[in-house]
Amino acid sequence: MTDWTKSLYTFGYLLTNDEDSALRKLAMLGEWKSRSVGGFRLFVHPEQRFYCFEAHGRAYILVGHAYDPFSMTANEEEILKHLASFEFGSEAYRDSIDCLTGVFFYAVIEGDAVTALCDCAGMLGANYAVVGSAKCFSAYSNMIADIYGLKEDPYVSSLKRSKLFHLYGWYLPGDLTPYPEVKRIVPNTEVRVDDDITVNRFYPRRPYTEAVGKEYEERVAAICKVMNNTMRLIADKWERPAISLTGGTDSKTTLACAKGVQQRFAYFSYVSLPREKDDALAAQSICGALGLEHRIYDVDTNPNSYPDYKEVSKLLERHYAFLGKANANDICKRIVLKEKFDYDVEVKSWVAEVARASRYKKYGKKSFPRKIRPRMLTSMYKVFLLNRGDAVRTDARFKEYLKKTGLEDALNDTDYPWSEFFVWEIVFGGWGGMALTGEHMLSNEITVPYNNRALLDMMLRTPLRKRIDDQLQKDMMNTMDDRIEKLGIHVVNGNETKKRELFEKVYYGINNALPW
């Protein structure tokens, strides 16, 4: 049976100038890898990797993994050296960061100051806090809470009491964590912790335009080139990479973009719920038609089948900072994959949804008002049917988020579609980082090929209608490997029903119209 004590805060890290408190409160940090960097100590989970490079009086740190499909660089030390070659904070420096794919935390230490950011969509958790004179950065907000005995925000406690809080995932509005002292690093921003805390937005920073006509065709070809480079880098970087495959749009597009290296990947699906069987069988049929081997993990979801079920359940609850409990099938899935996953890394097709106009689909809309309002975000965040006080308090949190992170000004200056940033920075940044880091990577390492800001920007700059209809993904598949689209195998998300779309649309409209 797995020793789950070694999985506490799996694939995590802690960067702190208060080493003594960290070691005193979390004895397991003594078994983690560590390094002194300036006046800080970096602790890294035994299964996690980290890289450091010092130049120009600065220490550059990357925890996790990164690769650049534009320059075809897969070595993290070379990436850090390249970043250090630019004027810190310059446009060229930003462009270079935008080109990175991976699951990582990145920080630059200069004296007592730390400037930090997460990967494109925050797939590796990234949180920060200043408690007294202590400065901390961690993949897990609860790790910082453990060290300093922090108490849960009463607002968060109130949200959790709602029977509908579990809908849409365990995450919080804006940059909040359950603890007032700890904040989340929002994707597309960097946080500088010195004598003061400042948040600087660096994307979007150029006017928004859509590629149409011949320019659209060229854009699709460029996107496919980046994705194909990405899949080639993954195939080179890991000895035994495996693509998590379903019958859905995103993973099929990933498979198509692996053209030329498809045989270097393994392919798998899992069945832990009845609806997942259709996905697994569809994936198996697609692989069979392409001459690729495919494996299905059948997960027994009876908790009584696993002596360590309760232990893993409590572990995941802590990783989710006690915002909620994992579903039984997900707990069983992690136990099974921890024991039986035979590959070096799982290629997961998350984050692509940022560019798929998902909120237009969700609410059956062809357009949203141009100007963003906090209540619009509140309506997308959770269902507040009776607890109107929490709705108003959530409006205030989103208002603060728009101002603090500079998103409202950036959208006004560049004219980007704002609903995509809710998915990008709140859904994936808030829920995705906790889920992928603390739950999914409990069983195996994961890389996310779409987790690249420059790539997502290219995808966002295609016509909205094509993104709503998933025509962009279809064009990508037909450009790279038209066999997949011609098979006509497609599984629709079981949650995406007309009845649910109607409910979502009605609620969204009513909640936006209410003055309280």
Complete domains list, the chain, with CATH: 4-201 (3.60.20.10), 214-354+427-498 (3.40.50), 364-418+503-513 (no CATH)
| Three-state secondary structure string covering 385-446 | CCCHHHHHHHHHHHHHHHHHCCHHHHHHHHCCCCHHHHHHHHHHHHHHHHHHHHHHHHCCCE
316-373 pLDDT, tens digit each: 999 999 999 999 999 999 999 999 999 999 999 999 999 999 999 999 999 999 999 9
Paired tokens of 375 = 């209540």
From 16-25, 177-186, 197-206, 493-502, the region with the lowest mean pLDDT: 493-502
- The reported pLDDT for the residue numbered 492 is 80
Long-range CB pairs of 258-261 (<8 Å, 24+ gap) are 258/228, 258/231, 259/228, 259/480, 259/481, 260/228, 260/232, 261/231, 261/232, 261/235
Confidence of residue 172 (pLDDT cuts 50, 70, 90): very high
Task: Please give the average per-residue pLDDT across 134-141, as a whole number.
Answer: 98
Mean pLDDT throughout 494-503?
77
Query: Does the CA dihedral 346-444-327-173 come out positive or negative?
Result: negative
pLDDT at position 38 is 86
pLDDT band of 245, cuts 50, 70, 90: very high
pTM here? 0.97
Query: What is the average pLDDT across 173-186?
Result: 98
Band (pLDDT 50/70/90 cuts) for residue 494 is: low
Given a cut of 90, is residue 112 above it in pLDDT?
yes
Q: Distance of alpha carbon 339 from its chain centroid, rounded?
A: 25
Locate tokens 């603060």: which residue?
400
pLDDT band at residue 30 under the 50/70/90 scheme: very high
Does 100 score more than 90 pLDDT?
yes
Q: Does residue 139 contact residue 13 with C-beta atoms inside 8 Å?
A: yes
- Which has more pLDDT, 385 or 134? 134
**Both tokens assigned to 258:** 């692996």
Q: Give me the pLDDT at residue 151, please.
A: 98
Whether the pLDDT of residue 118 is over 70: the answer is yes
- pLDDT for residue 415 is more than 90: yes
The per-residue pLDDT for 409 is 97
Residue pLDDT, tens place only, 264-288: 999 999 999 998 999 999 999 999 9
Could you tell me what percent of the chain has a pLDDT over 90? 94
pLDDT of residue 66: 98
Residue 332 contacts residue 272 (beta carbons within 8 Å): yes
- Looking at the predicted structure, is the pLDDT value of residue 106 above 80? yes
Q: Are strands 241-244 and 266-271 parallel, antiparallel or unpaired?
A: parallel
- The amino acid present at 113, given as its one-letter code, is A
Question: Which pLDDT score, from 0 to 100, does residue 76 have?
Answer: 98
